[in-house]
Amino acid sequence: MSSDIPFDSIAVREPLGPVENSASENAVRRYCDDWDDHDPMYLERSIWGGPVVPPAFQAGLTGFRLLSTRYNSRATIGAKSEHRSIRPARVGALLITAGMITEKYVRRGLEYVVVESTTHDDDGQEIRWSRDHILLSLERRPGGDDTTAAPSAARPEPRPIVPARVQIPTIEKRAYQRALDESRFAANSIHNDDYTRQHGYAGALMSAYVLCGYMAELLVKFYGPSWLLGGSLAVNFINGGVQQGNAIRCGGEVVQSVAGPTGVRHDLAIWMEKEGGKRVIAGTASGTIAR
């Protein structure tokens, strides 16, 4: 059980934040360098005119930052992350995120909270909605008693109009997180090699928001800029996560498609694998390829 965030003290439905993050030109360029994703629409020009902010910029990280406004979140780890891109933000915008803890639950003796949040820019425009399931620590509760989180509402299934299981182009990267090179972490942080190895991991875990950035690149390359207008993803982090320097491969396949007034919506199964084909992310995504 978490010693930093006593589970019984967690207040569900209390507001968290807001937290602010500058999407300056330098910050966006640094993001593009770290993720090795130099799409011109982030650095030069987009269909909206000037450059726009990568859709996964700070995605996931904002959930942890919101939690840290009330609790000590140093030992927490991302378990599941869901994001919906509402509209693109211009480079130079100030991004403002507010939210709340909407659930807390115990599963297999481990304690979790769910943080839902919405990000606006400094013009008041909604940019992104997120839901992050956050594991409070790797320490299990005595007795391992479980409670079950309320299931998310099921999305209606559209009628398929193209053959299922069409593979989309993959991307391959060498995973890198700047903070793991430049920062020191607490003894019970999941970014600490000794601590994670004591709990059966191969080494310090890369942050969920870094991995979400790689998955977002996969989706933007498939859907195009239209993914920034209503595209979504939901991913689970599994099988020991990703360590600094791992070779990773992100992929997906179309499971169903349906035509609409603005284009064809494709629903995907998506994943990330590391060396040896071990799958470390499994999830879904949706978006529309504009006509």
Count of C-beta atoms within a 10 Å radius of residue 42 = 22
Q: What are phi and psi of 39, to 5 degrees?
A: -60, 130
Residue 146's pLDDT is what?
63
pTM summary value: 0.90
Domain boundaries, the chain: 7-290
Residue 164's pLDDT is what?
53
Percent of the chain surpassing pLDDT 70: 92
Antiparallel, parallel or unpaired: β 166-167 and 247-259: antiparallel
Residue 58's pLDDT is what?
86
Residue 157's pLDDT is what?
43
Nearest to 32 by CA among 21, 44, 20: 44
Q: How far apart are CA 281 and CA 210, in angstroms?
A: 12
- Cα pseudo-dihedral 96, 102, 108, 109, rounded to 10: 90
Residue 148's pLDDT is what?
53
pLDDT digits (tens, 9 = 90+) for 5-15: 999 999 999 89
User: Distances from the Cα of 177 to the Cαs of 2, 44, 53, 245, 253, in angstroms?
Assistant: 25, 24, 19, 9, 27
> Consecutive sets of 10 residues in the chain, 291 residues long: mean pLDDT of each?
89 95 97 96 97 92 93 92 97 97 95 97 96 94 63 43 74 95 88 90 93 97 96 96 96 94 94 95 96 80
Q: Quick one: how many helices (H) and strands (E) in the chain?
A: 6, 11
Residue 151's pLDDT is what?
45
The domain 7-290 having CATH identifier 3.40.50.1820: the answer here is no
